[in-house]
Amino acid sequence: MISLNEAKNYLRVDHTEDDKLILSLIDTAKALVQDVGRMDEQALAVNEATTRQAMLYTISYLYENRNTADYHKLTLTLRALLFAQREGVM
């Protein structure tokens, strides 16, 4: 759903040293969005605009706070971003 180039552009990273890390963060972000949003692959696609934004936020947060990430805070933010999808409102 999110390519390496898209994530690097969002992060404003123009070097290749962190490519493996960013690819790992893309996978982590997808899993977190699925877990917090209670979504499967099909639900991710149906709610693509929101889930893409949630994934990019997650990638950015984890990249910028890789040593001090507050996963509780991140989860609460994702719950707020994904509320409508999570609760079946949309």
pLDDT at 84: 79
pTM over 0.85? The answer is yes
Q: Domain containing 74: what range? A: 4-86
Q: pLDDT-based confidence at 89, cuts 50/70/90?
A: low
Domains identified in the chain, total number: 1
Of 83 and 30, the one with more pLDDT: 30
3-state secondary structure the chain: CCCHHHHHHHHCCCCCCCHHHHHHHHHHHHHHHHHHHCCCHHHHHHCHHHHHHHHHHHHHHHHHCCCCCCHHHHHHHHHHHCHHHHCCCC
Give the tens place of pLDDT for each residue, 16-54.
Answer: 999 999 999 999 999 999 999 999 999 888 889 999 999
